[in-house]
Amino acid sequence: MIATNTRRPEITMLTEGQKSRILNEVRRKAGTCPACGGREFIVGDALYLGFLYVSENLDAYMIALTCTNPGCPAPRTGTRLPGSQFL
Kindly report, residue by residue over 2-50, the tens digit of the pLDDT. Answer: 556 677 888 999 999 999 999 999 999 999 999 999 999 999 999 988 7
- 48, 12 in Cβ contact below 8 A? yes
Alpha-carbon dihedral sign for residues 53, 44, 27, 87: negative
Question: How is the chain split into domains, by residue range?
Answer: 11-85
Position 53 scores a pLDDT of 67
Give 59 or 77, the one with higher predicted confidence: 77
Give 51 or 63, the one with higher predicted confidence: 63
Position 79 scores a pLDDT of 96
- Whole-prediction pTM: 0.85
Position 3 scores a pLDDT of 58
pLDDT exceeds cutoff 60 at 1: no
